[in-house]
Amino acid sequence: MALVVQKFGGTSVADAERIKNVARRVVDTYRAGNDVVVVVSAMGKATDELIGLATQISDKPHPREMDMLLTAGERISMALVAMAIEDHDVPAVSFTGSQAGILTTSRHGQAEILDIRAFRVRESLDDGKVVIVAGFQGVSPDSKDVTTLGRGGSDATAVALAASLEADLCEIYTDVDGVFTADPRVVPTARKLDELTFEEMLELANSGAGVLMARSVEFGIRYNIPIHVRSSFHDGDGTWVKEETMEEPIIRGITHDDTEAKLTIHGVPDRPGIAAAVFEPLAGTGVNVDMIVQNISSEGKTDISFTVPVTDAPTAIEVAKGVAAEIGASGVDLDSDISKISVVGAGMKAESGVAAKMFRILSDSGINIEMISTSTIRISCVVKGGDTKAAIAALHDGLLEDAS
């Protein structure tokens, strides 16, 4: 007998039929002798519909009330899932984030989980009940207000709750079969991965793989909770994410991220302290800078390029223009039509030459590299937006189909 946390996303609970399917799966797990905690997202497009209502009311909805509004979404799905489970004569009880003891910071819309005091969850498990918990939401102990966790919040709820309950396993049910070597919509030959280390999953998530959000992987790492990413439509195994894997191939997968824009400050005087002068004001406005590249200096001048989320670009360019004027740079450019392509694999730690091979493949495909950044297990290149598909296809072909 194990304690299993099962998380079902919005598509898995999109209508009554799918909710009944979820209930059947949960009941099977329960009847096999396990304790089961279920974390659910809002039904299908429910969250988008609530956001739509809010924008009809106000151009800038009050953040506390926005969270109050959005948390109605999971409230509906969790109650329906509980009813569907009860209908199998299996005792079930649903809890909001607040009732489940999910304590967060008070930053509405982007709260962070601080602690989980899952007394009521434990008590109900001890009573033999299946416990359904609303994903994506919590409560701030400071303000006593309801909060939401932002994008990917339900995954974070599931893994954090699994950690807090010392669960044996956290299953993330989704509408795809698992984690793939590349986006199957871009690379038809992409393969499902059987397993991954936490570290690899974290790099994949951070570089554009949408299947599992980075913050939930971080809880997995910290508390060593194995995560099984799998399809809610069939019983086949998905992808296991855990501390160690049987084999560590050089490269696990290739991701791409089209959500960033590149800014370049030209003709920057090359003197100490200039990077701080540029990036401190950006950090002050909350803009999330990803890659930074500084060119080799020529005649005492250099160029500094960096990427930011497209949504932050308007703020970033305003700040950058102010900085440029202050430090005597010649100007600022914005390029929103870029894509970041990343190659990820724990095997890179031991094996050298992956970067060189990556650059060669892109070059042979006639694709220009605009920026490069690396970690121990990842190499990322920024290319023009129009080159995304060709770059991924060539890299998958050259780096992964050889290896398989």
d(CA 108, CA 301): 43
150 or 281, CB closer to a copy of itself?
150
Binding mask 190-229 for a copy of itself (x = CB under 8 A): ----------------------------------------
6 near a copy of itself (CB under 8 A): no
Please state the closest distance from residue 120 (CB atom) to a copy of itself, in A. Answer: 8
Q: Which residues of 103-120 are buried (b: 16+ CB within 10 A; e: fewer)?
A: bbbbebbebebeebebee
Q: How far is the CB of 370 from a copy of itself (least distance, A)?
A: 42
What whole-number distance in Å separates Cα of residue 109 and Cα of residue 136?
10
84 binds a copy of itself (CB under 8 A): yes
Residues 6 or more apart from 337 whose CB is under 8 A from it?
A: 384, 385, 386
Task: Tell me the closest approach of the beta carbon of residue 47 to a copy of itself, in angstroms.
Answer: 12
By CB under 8 A, tell whether 65 contacts a copy of itself: yes
Find out whether 239 and 252 touch, Cβ atoms under 8 Å. Answer: no
Residue 90 interacts with a copy of itself (CB under 8 A): yes or no: no
Q: Which stretch binds a copy of itself (CB under 8 A): 62-70, 219-227, 305-313, 350-358?
A: 62-70
- Contact flag: residue 120 with a copy of itself (CB under 8 A): yes
The site that binds a copy of itself (CB under 8 A) totals a number of residues, namely: 34
Q: Is 53 in the site for a copy of itself (CB under 8 A)?
A: yes
Site for a copy of itself, residues 14 to 43, rule: CB under 8 A:
16, 19-20
Q: Calculate the alpha carbon distances from 92 to 47, 232, 323 in Å.
A: 24, 20, 58
Tokens representing residue 293 in the block: 């590249």
Nearer to a copy of itself, 69 or 193 (CB): 69
Q: How far is CA 216 from CA 44, 112, 133, 226, 335, in A?
A: 21, 11, 16, 11, 31
Tell whether residue 54 is a contact of a copy of itself (CB under 8 A).
yes
317 binds a copy of itself (CB under 8 A): no
Site for a copy of itself (CB under 8 A): which residue of 5, 26, 36, 93? 93
Q: Which of 34, 94, 181, 216 binds a copy of itself (CB under 8 A)?
A: 94
d(CA 372, CA 269): 22
CB nearer to a copy of itself: give 78 or 367: 78
Residue 79 touches a copy of itself, criterion: CB under 8 A: yes
Instruction: Report the 10 Å Cβ neighbour count for 92.
Output: 24
**Using rule CB under 8 A, residue 86 touches a copy of itself:** yes
- Contacts to a copy of itself from residues 142-181, by CB under 8 A: 144
Q: Three-state DSSP class for 266?
A: strand
CB of 290 closer than 8 Å to CB of 303: no
CA-closest candidate to residue 104, choices 68, 49, 146, 135: 146
Restricted to residues 96-115, the positions that interact with a copy of itself (CB under 8 A) are 99
Residues 21-27: contacts with CB within 8 Å, 24+ apart? 21/232, 22/81, 22/84, 22/173, 22/232, 23/81, 23/84, 23/85, 23/87, 23/88, 24/88, 25/173, 25/232, 26/81, 26/85, 26/90, 26/130, 27/85, 27/88, 27/90, 27/130
Could you tell me the smallest distance in angstroms from the CB atom of residue 124 to a copy of itself?
11
* Residues 6+ positions from 105 with CB-CB distance below 8 Å: 111, 112, 114, 140, 147
Q: What is the per-residue binding string for a copy of itself in 253-292, x denoting contact by CB under 8 A?
A: ----------------------------------------
Q: Which stretch binds a copy of itself (CB under 8 A): 57-65, 261-269, 304-312, 376-384?
A: 57-65
Written as one letter, the residue type at 83 is M
Residue in the block written with tokens 């939930």: 216
Binding site for a copy of itself (CB under 8 A): 16, 19-20, 50, 53-54, 56-58, 61-62, 64-66, 68-69, 71-72, 75-76, 78-80, 82-84, 86-87, 92-94, 99, 120, 144
